[in-house]
Amino acid sequence: MTVTLVPLPYAQDGLAPYISAETLKIHHGAHHKTYVDKVVAAVAGTDLENASVEEIVKAAKEQGKKPLFNSSAQTWNHGFYWFSLSLEKSAPSAELAAAIDAAFGSYDALLDKLKAEAVDHFASGWAWLVDDGGTLKVISTHDADTAWLSGVNPLLTIDVWEHAYYIDVKNKRPEYVSNVLGNLLNWDFASENFKRGTPWVYPA
């Protein structure tokens, strides 16, 4: 298996006006691609050359290879993030909606929790909606850390690195987060992840 840059699941302007084509060109075509290229270069000629992204992430973590971990985990995180977004309106499945109500009290309360986690997260990282053994939680991870390594099943994520929003809204992270929460969450993707019950796999 060769690690590749997963294509966007929509056109480059497919999230406009909330996330611009220019942002996706840089975020996907430069940042994500650079992570992929670094992974490919790092594993060439090693026993990880034909490994999956998940296998590389785990091995890098276990072996303390921080640069490889950063590149491979960011490869996975970005792939997951692209599918977490969609301009197509969707809603949680009945099963996921029930789990949201059980964990947070209401859908709106979940959005408030996600917004607080994403906006208040210090510096770079990710805000996640995860399934932890049947209970939904909102968590965040720093830098390249990825939620699934802690044993939970990610359902959605929001990238809160500045390159995710700076071109569009400068330093106004709350505006970017509100745009994502109000217009771009892909609940079909989240519902599929919840139903499957195991972490999403980066496309080969």
CATH label of the domain that carries residue 49: 1.10.287.990
CATH code, domain with 142: 3.55.40.20
C-alpha gyration radius of the chain? 16
Please check whether residues 166 and 100 belong to one and the same domain.
Answer: yes
pLDDT by residue (tens digit) across 141-158?
999 999 999 999 999 999
In a domain, 130, yes or no: yes
| Average pLDDT of the chain to the nearest whole number | 98
- Domain range spanning residue 162? 94-196
pTM over 0.95: yes
Going by the DSSP 8-state scheme, the letter that residue 28 receives in this structure is I
Residue that is last in its domain, among 30, 51, 84: 84
Question: 167 pLDDT band (50/70/90 cuts)?
Answer: very high
In a domain, 36, yes or no: yes
Please check whether residues 132 and 163 belong to one and the same domain.
Answer: yes
Specify whether the CB–CB gap between 42 and 54 falls below 8 A: no
In a domain, 7, yes or no: no
Report d(CA 187, CA 136) in Å as an integer: 14
pLDDT by residue (tens digit) across 116-141?
999 999 999 999 999 999 999 999 99
Please check whether residues 76 and 35 belong to one and the same domain.
Answer: yes
